[in-house]
Amino acid sequence: MTDLIFVTTDGPGAPAPERDTPDPAKLIEGSHATTTWNAFEGEDGRLFCGIWAAEPGTVAIDYTEWEFCHIIAGAAVLTNEAGESWTVRAGDAFVIPPGFRGTWQTLEPVQKHYVILLPPS
């Protein structure tokens, strides 16, 4: 591949939005409805990048993959099983490692860039 891949939600070449609601077993409060614009998939289906958005709400999370996140807009609180919390806002960037378990609470509508690497099968 030699071309650049633009990660965007609109304009020429923008991916179709994929709308989703959380698994009811993982939904703790609110709607936490999400929209994903997956701009790229590679490495034999293990690597993904794009933009993800979520409405306010709280969901249980259990990561088996690596995820790099860059918050574009909004605010969220990630809390691990030990009760440690981190508030993330527009401009913040962080990595969620495999094995992270806890909650993702979207305080105000969030948009983030993401890069996800799934474990080898």
Residue ranges and CATH numbers for the domains of the chain are: 18-117 (2.60.120.10)
Q: Give, as one character, the DSSP assignment of residue 10.
A: S
Q: What is the mean pLDDT of residues 26-41?
A: 96
pLDDT for 2 equals 65
At 11 the three-state DSSP class reads: coil
Q: What is the mean pLDDT of residues 59-79?
A: 98
- Give residue 121's pLDDT band: very low, low, confident or very high (50, 70, 90): confident
Residues with Cβ < 8 Å from 51, sequence gap 6 or more?
7, 8, 9, 36, 37, 39, 72, 111, 112, 113, 114
Q: How far from chain centre, in Å, is Cα 71?
A: 9
The residue among 54, 48, 39, 52 whose CA lies nearest residue 4 is 39
Asked if the model's pLDDT at residue 4 lies above 90, the reply is no
Does pTM top 0.85 for this prediction? yes
**71-106 pLDDT per residue, tens:** 999 999 999 999 999 999 999 999 999 999 999 999
User: What is the tally of helices (H) and strands (E) in the chain?
Assistant: 0, 9
